[in-house]
Amino acid sequence: MIDNEDCVEIDVTRLVVRKRGAGKPLLILHDELGFPGWMQWNDVLGESREQIVPLQPGFGHSEHLDWLRDYRDLAAYYARFVRQLGAPVDVIGFSAGGYLAAEMAAIDPGLFDKIALVGPLGVRPAHGEIYDFLAVTARTHVAATVSKQDAPEFSKIYGGKMGPEQFMLFEAARAETSRLGWQPFMFDPSLPALLKGVTNETLIIRGTDDLICPLGCVEAYESALPNATISSIEGVGHRPEIEDPDAFIRLVRNFLS
Amino acid sequence: MLIGYFTEQPYRGITEEQVLKHGSYFGISNSNFDRQLGSDLYNEYLDEFCYAEDLGFDAVCLNEHHGNPFCMSACLNISAAVLARITQKVKLLLIGNPLPAHGNPLRVAEELAQIDLTSRGRVISGWVRGSGPEQFFNNKNPSFNREMFEEAHDFILQAWTKPGPWRYEGKHFHYRHVNPWALPYQEPHPPTMIPGVLSLETVEWAADRNYPYLGLASSLGPTAELWEMYADRVATHGFQAGPENFGYLGMVAVGDTEEEAVELAKYFLFAHGNRLFARAEHTLPAGFNSEGAIKRLSSQASGGWLGLNREKIMGENLGKKDLTDDDLQIARSEIDAALQKMRDNYQIIAGTPEQVKERIETILRVARPGHFVFMNVQGDAGKDRRRKNMRLISEHVIPHMRKLAEELDLPSQYQVKPGSRQLASGQSRTRVTYPEILQDLEVA
């Protein structure tokens, strides 16, 4: 299976992109803690899709871009990347990556074909609050993302003692997230109004035990997007893709097929 | 030498148990605030600053924190404005205005100008980034803290010195009409002083501007090391640093007997003192510190600034906890041990007047500051004990320090302007501290 890391030049900037698999392109937008590496669900989808994961500026080896001030800035920057890639593409965005996908769609719905949002942040919850993960330590933040800490893939990537290198990566990711999403915290007040014009087929996936993204958030998305449906996965938290990969894969495969 | 008096203005209506149970001062519910007591304390602290003037201190020092019973002073410019009118000659040393937290540097420029005018030129205007909890309380993005601080500082200096009206479009601040009518009494603007706790970035920033750096009760050995780094930096700009570039804030408790002084000194560590100022998640919000600073803090096995260390930074939130009597006993033993350690490394000075004079003499000989600030105790030590401490310092310690400052040639920034000692081309700087004295005294 092809697995590589490219540097894509967008104007004078360089965006690091991880790729895996072959087939119709699928853009994957990682969450606020960064790309966790290829998981089981990637192995399965990689059989029929080329998965393309840009590493957000300031995360991993992607250069920090000082002029980025909010998720809409980032969305406009990523829109250029998708146009270079060849729009439209299917997209799946996780948490802050879902926020980013929604902002991109609001800027230009033609960037995407189908849109999957997993525990997406980005809109003011109809009720409840987005969990303030910047007011807790990195370890507490990571732990809050799952309801099943013993899920095999979670244990594999985040279990055990956190090493200094991993801690610094988390802190860099959290610092970038703070730059873009500190206030209002991880939502854009004008996004729901702009999403009214996004008619793409959209699937919103949420774990029923999600602590980070409240039910009110996905409900707000559902009422803003004209063609969206919500699918819940029972008994999992904010990372259904690693807490219950089988259920997650079923939903995503059906949706993208 | 300029000698100042400082208190965090602690709220005295909470118990150690409340703080220990909560795990920090920051975040204790304001349902515990007693309005009558608060009113009494604000007035008492203002009176205390007047008393400091009566006792012969050269400066009264004000700071601010937010939402925190550790420090009731939430708006230092308000206290400074009152003191500008009700005191006569003490300098108003502000350590300092947390510029990112204020978020409106033009307003700060106006406030400080008004205070400087009212006091007829007694303001020493310090600037700070603010601590982590200030970012949460004021909802200021920690990732922009340092750049907001620097931009606000540069803007204020311009607002005071560049004739208006003019327009300003910066990165974080934007003004259509910059023309503060009242300008500071002191021309071109008040002198400054930058407080810090061993932050290399802050030291370099201060040194680049020849701003005197005030070490906040940091261990004497590392303080001396840092001041040499400051002097190195100043030398790159062609200047020799001197005592006028340095200040030291010491936690000092004086008693008629050593036992009395040590009992009083325990209040510096009331509920662990600044170690429980805030929990790790509030002290170090993501983006607040540079990558280098986080690396340094996360490699620190124990102790550390505001009690931070590897375990706390990389661990889970500690949260509230129920304390048993045994837990409280352990906490008190830890506080006693910490007090001894801090006395040993000169962070806390406690003793009879003679003992305190000797210890402070060592600080002056090692670090050679031109400014020294006495900090009074935390917790609920009570008015009489606080004032007795001030009186004993004034009667016994300060006269000795003034004599010593003459002998050791320790001018303040009012006697020698920082940055006025120019190095000739190719001339190396001379040392500014003498830490070998500590080795002779077998101080770690």
Residue B328 pLDDT: 84
Q: Hey, is the C-beta of A12 within 8 angstroms of any chain B C-beta? A: no
Instruction: Quote the minimal CA–CA distance from B131 to chain A in Å.
Output: 14
In this model, does residue B296 exceed pLDDT 90? no
Helices (H) and strands (E) in chain B, counts: 18, 11
- Judged by DSSP in three states, B121 sits in coil
Rounded to whole angstroms, the Cα distance separating A157 from B284 reads 24
In this model, does residue B188 exceed pLDDT 50? yes
SS (HEC) of A156-193:
HHHCCCCCHHHHHHHHHHHHHHHHHHCCCCCECCCHHH
Beta carbons of B143 and A175 less than 8 Å apart: yes
Amino acid at B351: G
C-alpha closest to that of A159 among A42, A43, A36: A36
C-alpha closest to that of A210 among A139, A155, A138, A128: A128
A46: left (phi over 0), alpha (psi -120 to 50) or beta: alpha
Instruction: Quote the minimal CA–CA distance from B285 to chain A in Å.
Output: 7
Q: Using the structure block, give the residue that is written with the tokens 């924190």.
A: B65
In this model, does residue B307 exceed pLDDT 70? no
The pLDDT tens digits of the residues spanning B259-270 come to 999 999 999 999
- Judged by DSSP in three states, A19 sits in strand
Question: Token pair for residue B405?
Answer: 């400052």
Q: Which regions in chain A score pLDDT beneath 50?
A: 1-2
Q: Hey, is the C-beta of B315 within 8 angstroms of any chain A C-beta? A: yes
DSSP secondary-structure letter at A214?
A: -
Q: Hey, is the C-beta of A132 within 8 angstroms of any chain B C-beta? A: no
Beta carbons of B282 and A135 less than 8 Å apart: yes
Residue B371 pLDDT: 98
C-alpha distances in Å from residue B273, one per residue of B23, B78, B307: 12, 25, 10
Q: Hey, is the C-beta of B294 within 8 angstroms of any chain A C-beta? A: yes
State the pLDDT confidence band at B276, using cuts at 50, 70 and 90. Answer: very high
Query: Best-predicted range by mean pLDDT among B41-50, B220-229, B310-319?
Result: B41-50
Rounded to whole angstroms, the Cα distance separating A170 from A175 reads 8
State the pLDDT confidence band at B301, using cuts at 50, 70 and 90. Answer: low
Average of per-residue pLDDT values in chain A: 94
In this model, does residue B232 exceed pLDDT 50? yes
Average pLDDT in the B224-249 region?
97
Rounded to whole angstroms, the Cα distance separating B348 from B217 reads 8
Q: Taking a C-beta distance cutoff of 8 angstroms, is the pair B278, B26 a contact? A: yes
Fold of B2-14+31-272+345-440: TIM Barrel (3.20.20)
Strands (E), B172-313: 174-178, 194-196, 213-216, 246-254
- Judged by DSSP in three states, B406 sits in helix
Residue B257 pLDDT: 98
Residue A41 pLDDT: 96
Residue A1 pLDDT: 45
Average pLDDT in the B188-198 region?
93
Q: Taking a C-beta distance cutoff of 8 angstroms, is the pair A244, A209 a contact? A: no
Query: Would you say the C-alpha torsion B381, B386, B392, B394 has a positive or negative sign?
Result: positive
Rounded to whole angstroms, the Cα distance separating B411 from B212 reads 12
Average of per-residue pLDDT values in chain B: 93
Q: Taking a C-beta distance cutoff of 8 angstroms, is the pair A192, A123 a contact? A: yes
**Backbone φ, ψ for residue A226 (5° rounding):** -65, -20
All residues of chain A having their beta carbon less than 8 Å from the beta carbon of residue B292 are none
Greater pLDDT, B411 or B21: B411
Average pLDDT in the B179-201 region?
94
State the pLDDT confidence band at B300, using cuts at 50, 70 and 90. Answer: low
Fold of A3-256: Rossmann fold (3.40.50)
Beta carbons of B143 and A143 less than 8 Å apart: no
State the pLDDT confidence band at B331, using cuts at 50, 70 and 90. Answer: confident
State the pLDDT confidence band at B305, using cuts at 50, 70 and 90. Answer: low
Instruction: Quote the minimal CA–CA distance from A44 to chain B in Å.
Output: 34
Residue A94 pLDDT: 98
C-alpha distances in Å from residue B356, one per residue of A208, A236, A237, B342, B350: 63, 62, 59, 14, 6
Average pLDDT in the B369-385 region?
97
DSSP secondary-structure letter at B365?
A: H
Rounded-to-10 torsion of CA A173, B134, B292, B294? -70
Strands (E), B203-245: 213-216
Beta carbons of A177 and B286 less than 8 Å apart: yes
Residue B318 pLDDT: 62
Q: Taking a C-beta distance cutoff of 8 angstroms, is the pair A182, A70 a contact? A: no
How many other C-beta atoms lie within 10 A of the C-beta of residue A232? 17
Q: What's chain A's length in residues?
A: 257
Q: Hey, is the C-beta of B314 within 8 angstroms of any chain A C-beta? A: yes
Domain ranges of chain B: 2-14+31-272+345-440
Q: Hey, is the C-beta of A61 within 8 angstroms of any chain B C-beta? A: no
Max CA distance (Å), chain A: 46
Any long-range contacts for B230-235 (C-beta under 8 Å, 24+ apart)? B230/B203, B230/B204, B230/B206, B230/B432, B231/B207, B231/B429, B231/B431, B231/B432, B232/B429, B233/B203, B233/B204, B233/B207, B233/B208, B234/B207, B234/B210, B234/B419, B234/B429, B235/B423, B235/B428, B235/B429
Q: Using the structure block, give the residue that is written with the tokens 């729901």.
A: A192
Beta carbons of B285 and A178 less than 8 Å apart: yes
User: Hey, which residues does B123 pair with through a beta bridge?
Assistant: B92
C-alpha closest to that of B371 among B165, B140, B211: B211
Q: Hey, is the C-beta of B142 within 8 angstroms of any chain A C-beta? A: yes
C-alpha distances in Å from residue B354, one per residue of B219, B249, B349, B359, B440: 22, 19, 12, 9, 20
Q: Taking a C-beta distance cutoff of 8 angstroms, is the pair A52, A26 a contact? A: yes
Q: E strand or H helix at B375, and its extent?
A: strand B371-375
Instruction: Quote the minimal CA–CA distance from A193 to chain B in Å.
Output: 26
Closest chain B residue to A141, measured at CA: B316
Q: Taking a C-beta distance cutoff of 8 angstroms, is the pair B96, B195 a contact? A: yes
Residue B439 pLDDT: 83
All residues of chain B having their beta carbon less than 8 Å from the beta carbon of residue A140 are 281, 316-317
Q: Taking a C-beta distance cutoff of 8 angstroms, is the pair B134, B98 a contact? A: yes
Q: Using the structure block, give the residue that is written with the tokens 């009214």.
A: A196
Query: Which of B143, B144, B317 lies nearest to residue A136, judging by beta carbons?
Result: B317
Query: Which of B144, B286, B313 lies nearest to residue A134, judging by beta carbons?
Result: B286
The pLDDT tens digits of the residues spanning B87-109 come to 999 999 999 999 999 999 999 99
Beta carbons of B142 and A167 less than 8 Å apart: no
B419: left (phi over 0), alpha (psi -120 to 50) or beta: left
Question: Token pair for residue B162?
Answer: 């560049």
Instruction: Quote the minimal CA–CA distance from B177 to chain A in Å.
Output: 25
DSSP B292-356: HHHHHHHT--S--GGG--HHHHHS---------HHHHHHHHHHHHHHHHHHHHTTSEEEE-HHHH
Q: Using the structure block, give the residue that is written with the tokens 């980070």.
A: A212
3-state helix, strand, coil in chain B (%, to 5): 50, 15, 35
